């Protein structure tokens, strides 16, 4: 026969184990992630639509990038052309300025010589006038 003390102990242990198991299951259910089916799952048609949109954006991006590159290349060529024209103009101005400076230097030396000659003639005239 089964002793009532042993039976009570067995029932108490089994209920304790069962309640522990139930608490463990409730904690697991509370901590388990519950995904929203509306935001988590997508149908194949929606995925295909999304893929076509992404590929369309990528195609538009590549075409815009190619257009931007061609415009940039065109602008750079135009700037190079403009800059080369400006460089040629500056070199011609530098040549003209150097020619003008050379002629002014020559005129300066001639005028300096004329001034010396006139000052010596003036000195002689002053000496004759006082002599």
Question: What gap in Å lies between CA 125 and CA 131, rounded to an integer?
Answer: 10
The dihedral sign for the CA sequence 108, 109, 114, 118: positive
Give mean pLDDT in consecutive 10-residue pieces for the chain, a chain of 131 residues: 80 92 93 75 86 95 95 93 89 92 92 92 87 70
Provide the token pair at 80: 């190079």
Can you give the pLDDT at residue 37?
67
Can you give the pLDDT at residue 35?
73
Spacing of C-alpha 114 from chain mean position: 66
Report the Cα–Cα distance between both ends of the chain, in Å, rounded. Answer: 173
| Residue 42 Rama label (left phi>0; alpha psi -120 to 50; beta) | beta
| DSSP secondary structure string for all residues of 7-33 | HHHHHHHHHHHHHHHHHHHHHHHHHS-
Can you give the pLDDT at residue 43?
81
Question: What gap in Å lies between CA 115 and CA 107, rounded to an integer?
Answer: 12
Can you give the pLDDT at residue 78?
93
Provide the token pair at 92: 């011609």
């Amino acid at each position: 026969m089964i002793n009532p003390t042993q039976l009570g102990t067995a029932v108490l242990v089994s209920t304790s184990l069962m309640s522990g198991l139930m608490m463990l299951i409730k904690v697991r259910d509370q901590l388990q992630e519950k995904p929203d089916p509306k935001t988590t799952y997508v149908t194949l048609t929606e995925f295909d639509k999304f893929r076509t949109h992404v590929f369309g954006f990528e195609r538009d991006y590549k075409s815009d990038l190619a257009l931007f590159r061609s415009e940039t290349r065109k602008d750079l060529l135009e700037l190079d052309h403009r800059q080369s024209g400006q460089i040629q103009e500056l070199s011609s101005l530098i040549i003209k300025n150097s020619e003008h400076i050379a002629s002014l230097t020559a005129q300066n030396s001639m005028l300096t010589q004329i001034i010396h000659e006139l000052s010596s003639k003036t000195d002689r005239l002053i000496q004759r006038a006082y002599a």
